[in-house]
Structure 1
């Protein structure tokens, strides 16, 4: 979408507004944002009511279970114990002692970046993180109740894994995000405050994208409220916001995150804009209220009015408010009165604005309550529907809805609109008095993407083979269901919005239907796969010259379809016209253009040169940067000299036209900017040869691509043939690729051949500039399936009350996980030192067995674990191992060798000293 076109239809000042471009979360009864919306639409109350038998199996104290005020209800999320530790570089033991709040928040942060269509490794802007977590009940109820584990984990390690102060910074570290990383703590309004601060950070250019939200998980599935008259806990486990029978809310576990960008940037970059935040306001009640924990009328009115003012929105254009809606007899009436007073500053309309509370669906998520309400509202705007606020029959007698702008929305309703776009307010109030109000607006109508190539390259990668298979199937499911998706936008999102991992696959297709067919018929070899451990393998250009020139139909197709190719070709055509007084375009477009007599050989050479020069320029535009060049014949050498920077384009074309370097007067050779490989014997050319025109004109045996099999493997290059020699094979460490042009050339064969070659370059480990591939197009990012985490059970059970059970649990407290897939084969300890070290590593990492050649880093080791290894070694051997010894040579074998060397040296010194004492005694 063009920014100027957007401005013509937009109401207000968009430079002060924020776009929501992605969402992720886990909610009671919903493992994703999509399933959360399905539950909201269906009016499901996702609260679990525990039976007496279920509660008796937990660590709940019997006196609580027998208390009549105890309410056995909670909003529970599934698989809290599961985590993909290997993906994020955690050892199993570190994963076990890390609060599930941190673990799930980290997974959701990764999903959020992918949902927004961005890869944090290649995004050039600064990404901020504004986050909040609840008190770690996992630390209190599980870890601290386990004496054996407590003795194994250092206090600092436990703090790092459980203290909520590290929730934001851990995400920034693991995702390599370099914007502000801030933890927020205002209890119930924490996530809304985080979103407010993220918006301010974006508007003041402290970051260019922000991830904002919160997590609140209860380690035990029975962290329910006690009902107490005047408190916040519901008497029956149901939240009945605004209802006459309301007695409070119910607890819930969950988390939510949103990705934010400045609206202007989001529009220009083709982001998937879900909704717009027009304004946010933040304040505190101060002391003008009944008590510290009580809500304050004045503060609520002020924050709502301020948000409306900042958003430049009239209250009568706001047609829905997602209320804080705790369902308390005093809190609900005060909230409606505050909203009414704020709206009455500008409108006297009655009963036009729907109101609801997500707490009636999922309970109170505490820190994450505000972002849950925001996500519900964004989904409502996106789908143009307002879900029902549940458990409402008749109004709280203290609420006078008939005199207010509001009514409780009790059924799934179409969200109608008038002259103004759909707009909504979101309330979030915290115990202690920190209040937030946000004004949201529906996203602008998304215009169609720009023109695109007829063929598209869809790359997919994962950390292991199973995840890659699942990723391919997830994409198939998405494309099968969302049949209207633009294939070019799908390709673009997969290219720029996903990180490249070792297990790789790609396919080339014309539309999404063809992509589904290719995945269904994988036996037809149209899905290319590879395991590529080495990232960013160097590429060398293999210049064919006249050995295998590009077909004219191929050149013509590229000239018409690829602006980067055309620009480079035109530069050559202009120089050729000056030198030879001939327009090379005749060769492409004039079928009657025939033999030019004596100039025929010269024209063949300059035509081949121009086409391959333009082809190389196109590869450069797509990010394929050569680290070396090699010519296969004389003209190929001429091209190599130009590509390496030894020869100017003008001199190179003049030499090609003349058929000799020596025939060009004033030709100047310069030192090469990149290595030049001799086409004669495959060795690197020296500077003396490069600067000698006679060397370039010396007769050489013309090489075929097949003869490159003899090239020394030590070069470790991916050779990209710029011509069309159809040379595609692997030579030890060297892969040789070229675009394979079908014999029956058609109008799109060039695109398919080039994109297939580009995909194979990526498979082989070449760095690709995917943005360069789309440089001359305007693409949109799409919310495609995110990474399929391979999650495993990581959990320390809480200690039971029965002492016998405690002893039994302690005996099996330290569980061990299987050795992960590593590039080294398992080798058992070969001596006592290695055996003792292996035992230490296994205990600290929670992996068994660990081989003596397994890498400390690949097992999930880091500086804190290394410090613990050093401490244990000191206890066992009375030897201080330097930290760098563990990181520079990170295997048990090497550390054991160091320990033994120190011990032997010390033993030798003691022997020498004893000998000296003996000799002195004899004297």
Structure 2
């Protein structure tokens, strides 16, 4: 293979639906087997297409074609369409939208639309002309602009950009039969010109009714027997087909750098027009086609003799085929010994605007697989083929390297396009990566999530890409939807098994509270394996170690040293600080924090009260001073702090939970107190009586140390151990506070209740074990919608530290926290690999041909609408209007207008209907202020209940008359002005 020039484009993703094939992989299987998607239609299909018996009996009627089944089904909810709007949306736009989703997903670039351009083509919209125009079954209330936006080709690329949040250029390209190949050319040029960094290019051709057949006429381009035989001696015409395909393109250098799976390389493309040098507007031109092909060769800098296959335009017409062969012969200035020809039209029919991308996909699959695709129908060469270096192979042929292919697309009117493809470069080996991996899935519904899980489990059961690459693709290349799932595993088999019991949910708790445990949670080897595999954690640990008077790694590994308070407290600080930095690098930033005893120093440091260096100085001094104190004891008692009756020689050390406290004192005092309790208690493994009178002797020395460091006001709120409420700037910057903090009882339970009072949160314990999450769960978290997670394993758990921290990351993501899923492997080079497609939850949204099917539900809706003003109250009126205009049979009082697929254009009609039906003049922005039937009803009732002076009644009548007299366009403009005003006031 020759070297690259820097102008090549990589094909990194593709998707398509063709006659007889629902995926690209299935399509390739059919290509290799020579299985045609063109077929004979059944009588039932012809009946549904409105083909009369008289027409079927006419001479020349051919009941065949390349039909795309299921075009009436669409996942409207995923893309935010109401049933009414989905029913009138051009099926070409629906199908292409889903295809674009799958193509970007296949490339692993659906997650971020920044810098992605769209270049797309579509055929004439027969759905509008035949199914919608003058059809009484069309949903009511539609304005001409509604139908225009839903059916105009001009909106094709922009619609994809809008729904997939793609911010590059969005351009619809139309050049007749060469449209989608020209779209690919334009996309390549845009990439080379830096208009975008990733480009989605393709086309769609769906011409309902797709099971109609056609009438053959002598001298026409359609085949008399429904067979398309390109370059064959018996070639006599083409057959119409329907289909859709899209490819994802990137500059080769970017694709290689980002680890994209490259399916083929576009060496060069060219486009021109025949001009007037031909017999007629629709006639092809040898000279024009040859110039386009030759230009593509020159731009590609390839020797034409190295091209082994051409995916030809190949219409199988007596005029078109000989001209195409002559143009190829003329364009190949250094003829190959032999070069195979083929045309996908033989299998799926002529896809019109989508023909070019269909052939392009076939050629990409061929150079990737190393197989020259067969043309099993072939009987003998047609005119001109026998005098050329080209041949048509009946069977699949092996294709050794270097593999290069040409793709042609020629449009009526003379716009010619040609592309040169090359086999993909060998993938660069990737390092093994971490030992444990987080896999995530999401979907718009529980059913789609279930099917996604099954598809992924099936994929993992076979051979394929390393789990590290699968994890990377799922985390960075997919769209995050509401219903979510996460698992942690070490290999494909373990991941497949874990999916069955994966954590799932659809939470909306976005806030995270960091909890930092205190002394007693430490254990030898805590976070050791995390330090081995997480560079961010290791770097933060080393940052702390540089300010400590001992070897941190030695202490963390030694259980004996960790029992010494002088080592325990700074070691705990270091681990918890490093964990917090890791979480922050992963995009998890605390809304608030709470530490337990020495854990509050971590919270204060992260809030900016101390610098990390000063915090470590204080924690080290605190540990050294306390380590020098006489031995003491601490006791855990299953009683609330206010229930305890303590003798003078026993102090309350911690209020941990509604029914859990800790007391401290001398060993003798604690033994006496424990003996007198009527409830079981537990001695803690501590060497001293912290937070008791036994620490009084060191408070003066500690006060001096605190006075030596700079204290600043906190930038992030945290709850105080001393008060159990929010820390104040005055407290945080007062050295005396930190002295009291060492002596007074830890008010953890009170502090936790302060944190939980603000609404549902995720409690994340950033330290070893699960001491604080266990205490937190005694505060009835579920009742308040809260959840609690740990970051590191319990010392008795036999699991990898990455298991715990990645599981917590996955559960936070499931809860709705906006985590950075790309961050955990940001330091690794990983590959984006093809994975199973998203399972769209398609529902029938269709307006049947007049006279073929009775309108469904429309009479009931009309009756309900007519009866609305006379009965049922305001809520029933509003709900019925919504049901009619949105096309939804059942709408609840708390259903959101915009989640149901409503939009600003439709809102003008909703407000006008409510104004007319209820006699209440609603402001233009009412639908934004009150987006549910219940809230809109309350707004109507409030407006009606207001007492008006006669002058006000006159003003109301004037406003009512004014809004009734407004045209939809005027009302819509007023609505937009009101919406803009609201957005400005809110911002």
TM above 0.5, yes or no, is yes
Find out whether 1:431 has 2:409 as its counterpart: no
Task: Report the equivalent of 1:720.
Answer: 764
Give the whole-Å Cα distance in 2 for the aligned partners of 1:596 and 1:799: 82
Find out whether 1:406 has 2:390 as its counterpart: yes
Find out whether 1:532 has 2:512 as its counterpart: no
Task: Report the equivalent of 1:364.
Answer: 350
Deviation at 1:152, TM superposition (A): 3.1
1:393-433 CA-to-partner distances (Å, cap 9, x unmatched) read 1111x2143x422111221121223xxx2111000010111
CA 1:743–1:544: 2 relative to 1, 3 Å: closer
**TM (normalized to structure 1)?**
0.89
Deviation at 1:744, TM superposition (A): 4.8
| Contact 1:815-1:846 within 8 A present in 2 as well | no
| Contact 1:292-1:431 within 8 A present in 2 as well | yes
CA 1:783–1:78: 2 relative to 1, 3 Å: same
Describe how 1:221-260 pairs up with structure 2 within 5 A. 221-260=210-249
Describe how 1:683-694 pairs up with structure 2 within 5 A. 683-694=725-736
Give the whole-Å Cα distance in 2 for the aligned partners of 1:607 and 1:57: 76
| Contact 2:308-2:403 within 8 A present in 1 as well | yes
Give the whole-Å Cα distance in 2 for the aligned partners of 1:814 and 1:20: 50
| Contact 1:619-1:625 within 8 A present in 2 as well | yes
CA 1:249–1:813: 2 relative to 1, 3 Å: farther
| Contact 2:442-2:481 within 8 A present in 1 as well | yes
1:360-380 CA-to-partner distances (Å, cap 9, x unmatched) read 000000010000001111111
List runs of 5+ in structure 2 lacking aligned partners. 623-701, 863-868, 956-987
Give the whole-Å Cα distance in 1 for the aligned partners of 2:243 and 2:252: 28
Task: Report the equivalent of 1:213.
Answer: 202
Task: Report the equivalent of 2:108.
Answer: 117
Find out whether 1:60 has 2:51 as its counterpart: yes
Deviation at 1:706, TM superposition (A): 11
CA 1:782–1:357: 2 relative to 1, 3 Å: same
| Contact 1:24-1:115 within 8 A present in 2 as well | yes
| Contact 1:543-1:630 within 8 A present in 2 as well | yes
Task: Report the equivalent of 2:788.
Answer: 736
Which residue of the other structure, out of 806, 809, 829, is the alignment partner of 1:758?
809
CA 1:639–1:848: 2 relative to 1, 3 Å: same
Give the whole-Å Cα distance in 2 for the aligned partners of 1:47 and 1:376: 17
Deviation at 1:31, TM superposition (A): 0.8
Describe how 1:862-877 pairs up with structure 2 within 5 A. 862-877=903-918
| Contact 2:515-2:595 within 8 A present in 1 as well | yes
CA 1:503–1:662: 2 relative to 1, 3 Å: farther
Find out whether 1:859 has 2:886 as its counterpart: no
CA 1:386–1:857: 2 relative to 1, 3 Å: same
RMSD value, Cα: 2.7
Find out whether 1:18 has 2:69 as its counterpart: no
List runs of 5+ in structure 1 lacking aligned partners. 1-8, 818-827, 915-923
Q: Any idea what SS the aligned residue of 2:61 has?
A: coil
Task: Report the equivalent of 1:545.
Answer: 518
Give the whole-Å Cα distance in 2 for the aligned partners of 1:812 and 1:642: 64
Give the whole-Å Cα distance in 2 for the aligned partners of 1:98 and 1:368: 19
Describe how 1:586-665 pairs up with structure 2 within 5 A. 586-588=554-556, 600-633=564-597, 635-659=598-622, 660=702, 662-664=704-706
Give the whole-Å Cα distance in 2 for the aligned partners of 1:200 and 1:815: 54
Q: Any idea what SS the aligned residue of 2:417 has?
A: strand
| Contact 1:240-1:390 within 8 A present in 2 as well | no
Describe how 1:234-633 pairs up with structure 2 within 5 A. 234-343=223-332, 345=333, 347-350=334-337, 352-396=338-382, 398-401=383-386, 403-417=387-401, 421-481=402-462, 483-519=463-499, 522=500, 526-534=501-509, 537-549=510-522, 551-576=523-548, 580=549, 582-588=550-556, 600-633=564-597
Describe how 1:669-688 pairs up with structure 2 within 5 A. 669-688=711-730
Give the whole-Å Cα distance in 1 for the aligned partners of 2:540 and 2:953: 76
| Contact 1:280-1:439 within 8 A present in 2 as well | yes
Give the whole-Å Cα distance in 2 for the aligned partners of 1:109 and 1:501: 17
CA 1:700–1:380: 2 relative to 1, 3 Å: farther
Give the whole-Å Cα distance in 2 for the aligned partners of 1:513 and 1:357: 41
| Contact 1:658-1:664 within 8 A present in 2 as well | no
Count of matched residue pairs = 860
1:551-600 CA-to-partner distances (Å, cap 9, x unmatched) read 33133322222211111111111122xxx3x33233246x6x97699xx5
Task: Report the equivalent of 1:788.
Answer: 839
CA 1:548–1:72: 2 relative to 1, 3 Å: same
| Contact 2:10-2:255 within 8 A present in 1 as well | yes
Structure 1 or 2, whichever has the larger Rg, is: 2
| Contact 2:84-2:139 within 8 A present in 1 as well | no
| Contact 2:407-2:418 within 8 A present in 1 as well | yes
Task: Report the equivalent of 2:165.
Answer: 176
| Contact 2:442-2:483 within 8 A present in 1 as well | yes
Task: Report the equivalent of 2:647.
Answer: none
CA 1:839–1:448: 2 relative to 1, 3 Å: same
Give the whole-Å Cα distance in 2 for the aligned partners of 1:713 and 1:416: 69
Give the whole-Å Cα distance in 2 for the aligned partners of 1:51 and 1:503: 41
Give the whole-Å Cα distance in 2 for the aligned partners of 1:138 and 1:247: 29
Give the whole-Å Cα distance in 1 for the aligned partners of 2:953 and 2:271: 75
CA 1:902–1:546: 2 relative to 1, 3 Å: closer
Find out whether 1:49 has 2:35 as its counterpart: no
CA 1:466–1:187: 2 relative to 1, 3 Å: same
Find out whether 1:30 has 2:75 as its counterpart: no
Task: Report the equivalent of 2:641.
Answer: none
Q: Any idea what SS the aligned residue of 1:95 has?
A: helix
**TM (normalized to structure 2)?**
0.83
CA 1:913–1:194: 2 relative to 1, 3 Å: closer
Deviation at 1:61, TM superposition (A): 5.5
| Contact 1:275-1:441 within 8 A present in 2 as well | yes
CA 1:277–1:829: 2 relative to 1, 3 Å: farther
Task: Report the equivalent of 1:920.
Answer: none
1:96-141 CA-to-partner distances (Å, cap 9, x unmatched) read 1111111111111111221111234x45x31111111111111111
CA 1:647–1:78: 2 relative to 1, 3 Å: same
CA 1:815–1:312: 2 relative to 1, 3 Å: farther
| Contact 1:662-1:697 within 8 A present in 2 as well | no
| Contact 2:555-2:567 within 8 A present in 1 as well | no
Give the whole-Å Cα distance in 1 for the aligned partners of 2:924 and 2:233: 65
1:332-353 CA-to-partner distances (Å, cap 9, x unmatched) read 111111111111x2x1443x21
Q: Any idea what SS the aligned residue of 2:721 has?
A: coil
| Contact 2:724-2:750 within 8 A present in 1 as well | no
Give the whole-Å Cα distance in 2 for the aligned partners of 1:444 and 1:619: 37
1:667-692 CA-to-partner distances (Å, cap 9, x unmatched) read 11122221122234542222211221
1:164-215 CA-to-partner distances (Å, cap 9, x unmatched) read 1111111111111111011111111111111111111111111111111011
Deviation at 1:500, TM superposition (A): 2.3
Deviation at 1:876, TM superposition (A): 3.4
Q: Any idea what SS the aligned residue of 2:925 has?
A: helix
| Contact 1:239-1:391 within 8 A present in 2 as well | no
Q: Once structures 1 and 2 are overlaid, which stretch shifts more, 444-453 or 657-666?
A: 657-666
